[in-house]
């Protein structure tokens, strides 16, 4: 399905049935993009297993699009352009410099 292989930025949701978790993980991970994914299921153990196995920068469980300013947001694979939000997001705009100074007046 091309719709699950592309990185779509718009109001699109794909709803599909799967025969087992293996099929879900294979389809989710078979794309070159990996910004985010959402899993909707009533089984809390299944949510945990799928969140661990799906390669995406953000996984939403029984929700979608919720972002918190203290939590990093960004993708994996070709969706990887750094992180926004959280300390990881701030670090993307910082440049660290170490300065060592001899304060003893002797050289």
> Tell me, what CATH number does 30's domain have?
3.40.309.10
Instruction: Scan for tokens 């050289």, then name that residue.
Output: 107
Q: Is residue 104 part of a domain?
A: no
Q: Give the domain extent around 27.
A: 2-91
Pick from 60, 14, 58, 69: which is nearest to 39 by CA?
Answer: 60
The rounded mean pLDDT for the chain is: 81
Q: What is the model's pTM? A: 0.67
Q: Is residue 106 part of a domain?
A: no
Helices (H), 1-101: 21-29, 44-53, 86-91
pLDDT-derived band at 22, boundaries 50, 70, 90: very high
* pLDDT tens track for 24-65: 999 888 888 878 888 899 999 999 999 999 988 889 899 888
Residue 75 has pLDDT above 80, yes or no: no
Q: Is residue 103 part of a domain?
A: no
Q: Is residue 105 part of a domain?
A: no
């Amino acid at each position: 399905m091309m719709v699950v292989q592309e990185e779509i930025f718009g109001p699109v949701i794909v709803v599909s049935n799967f025969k087992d978790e293996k099929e879900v993980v294979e389809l989710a991970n078979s794309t070159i993009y990996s910004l985010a994914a959402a899993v909707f299921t009533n089984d809390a153990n299944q949510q945990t297993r799928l969140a661990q196995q799906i390669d995406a920068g953000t996984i939403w469980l029984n929700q979608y699009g919720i972002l918190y300013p203290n939590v990093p947001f960004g993708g994996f694979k070709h969706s990887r352009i750094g992180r926004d939000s959280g300390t990881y997001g701030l670090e993307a705009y910082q440049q660290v410099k170490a300065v060592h100074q001899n304060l003893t007046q002797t050289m």
